[in-house]
Amino acid sequence: MSEPAKKVAQQAETRLDRIAKSAQKRFNKITEGRFTDRIKEGRFADQVDHGVDQGRADVRRDQQGEGREGREGRGGAAA
């Protein structure tokens, strides 16, 4: 390769390195602090657990309510 061609190739390589570093920086900035990262770190553990516990309590309450109604209905019919 001639000297001018080597110089152009080196300049292109330098520019591509800068672009790659810039793209990596931007990517890291965009992905930093994402919602899934926060969950993995446990930042929302209390809120998520509360929702699960609340859902379980609702299901238990519904199941218990159906059981009582069934017993009351039978008891009322026999009386």
Q: Determine the pLDDT at residue 10.
A: 97
pLDDT (tens digit, 9 = 90+) per residue, 48-63? 455 566 777 788 888 8
Give the Cα separation of 48 and 41 in Å (integer).
13
pLDDT (tens digit, 9 = 90+) per residue, 7-47? 999 999 999 999 999 999 998 888 777 777 777 777 665 55
Output DSSP code: residue 78: H
Q: How many C-beta neighbours within 10 Å does residue 44 have?
A: 14
Give the Cα separation of 58 and 64 in Å (integer).
10
Give the Cα separation of 38 and 29 in Å (integer).
15
Q: Do 18 and 12 touch, CB atoms closer than 8 A?
A: no
Q: Do 46 and 52 touch, CB atoms closer than 8 A?
A: no
Residue 70 has pLDDT above 80, yes or no: no
